[in-house]
Amino acid sequence: MSDELVTYELDGRIALIGLNRPDKRNAINEAVIDALRTAVRRAGDESDVAVLFGHGRNFSAGLDLGEALARATQQQRPPRKGRRHSWHEVFDVIARGPVPFVAALHGAVVGGGLELACAAHVRVADATAFFGLPEGQRGIFVGGGGTVRIQRIVGYTVMADMMLTGRLLSAAEGEREHIVRYVVPEGQALAKARELAARIAKNTHETNWRITNVLPRINDLSHEDGLFMEYLNSNLQRSPEGAERLREFVEGRAQPLVPPGQTDA
């Protein structure tokens, strides 16, 4: 296996980005963040959709606690790469960058690993996945955007319970709390994520970009401003590619919608 901290592969129009520190359960240190930044930017430049996964038996054990201890005891200085927290910067390129992300989750998806997963737009878990926010037990606080992203996904009640009690959620509980949209048998999360990515890649860039960039911003707005923003993005903006998709349907050339339980023709 590659000795890079984050692997990158382009499969057609799909970028595959793998956290690759399995001996440390894919714990995230500053070097991992740097490698992730490079991979995510590259995916934005050359793919239509990206899949994020973890090598080994876990997605990610979150913040590298060894590095955190070294910083807390002034053995190691924090990076001075800008005025923005590096995790926020990189996770925002995932959440609000040029391409949609699908996260394939298995094993531990905890702390900063859950924060990273929640920056993706669609999440798939296999049956081994478990979700937790053990920051309370570690004497620290979430710092990878979780207060905003995870709280918006699961709500205060669930997040406060996870943080205060350290309760771990199973894959099924994660689905119930909207952390994931799909639960698949053990070992199948990556295959399912790739299948979903291939579907997403068939949409127009324009629409995918609005789903990943406009929709979450509208969620942050008032009712009135949200409707105005929606108007700006629907009625006033129709790309030639979008018009072609409309023509395909009107002329009977579009792929039919497939109701649940039926298979693609």
Residue type, 130: F
Residue 179 vs 200, nearer CB to ligand 1HE: 179
Instruction: Give 237's Cβ-side CA count (13 Å radius).
Output: 11
* Least Cβ distance, residue 37 to ligand 1HE (angstroms): 15
Copy the structure tokens of residue 169: 């959620």
Nearest CA to 227 out of 208, 238, 214 is that of 214
- The question of whether 67 is a catalytic residue gets the answer no
* Least Cβ distance, residue 105 to ligand 1HE (angstroms): 13
Q: Does 54 bind ligand 1HE (CB under 6 A)?
A: no
Placement of tokens 């991992």 in the chain: 32
- Find out whether 231 and 223 touch, Cβ atoms under 8 Å: no
Tell me whether strands 49-54 and 108-110 are parallel, antiparallel or unpaired.
unpaired
Count of C-beta atoms within a 10 Å radius of residue 85: 15
* Least Cβ distance, residue 10 to ligand 1HE (angstroms): 29
Q: Does 35 bind ligand 1HE (CB under 6 A)?
A: no
Cβ partners under 8 Å of residue 89, min gap 6: 37, 82
Strand order in the sheet with 130-132: 108-110, 130-132, 169-170
Catalytic residue among 9, 46, 89, 115: 115
Binding to ligand 1HE, residues 68-97 (CB under 6 A) = 87
Residue 111 vs 174, nearer CB to ligand 1HE: 111
| Residue window 139-158: x/- pattern of binding to ligand 1HE, with contact defined by CB under 6 A | -x-xxx--------------
Copy the structure tokens of residue 34: 């740097």
What is the widest separation between alpha-carbon atoms in the chain?
67
Q: Does 116 bind ligand 1HE (CB under 6 A)?
A: no
- The question of whether 206 is a catalytic residue gets the answer no
Residue 98 vs 131, nearer CB to ligand 1HE: 131
Q: Does 111 bind ligand 1HE (CB under 6 A)?
A: yes
Q: Does 109 bind ligand 1HE (CB under 6 A)?
A: no
Query: What are φ and ψ of residue 206, in 5° steps?
Result: -55, -50
Q: Does 56 bind ligand 1HE (CB under 6 A)?
A: no
Residue 18 vs 144, nearer CB to ligand 1HE: 144
CA angle 33, 168, 190 (to 5 degrees): 55
* Least Cβ distance, residue 67 to ligand 1HE (angstroms): 7
Contact residues: ligand 1HE, CB under 6 A: 24-25, 27, 58, 61-66, 87, 108, 110-112, 134-135, 138, 140, 142-144
Q: Which residues are catalytic?
A: 115, 135
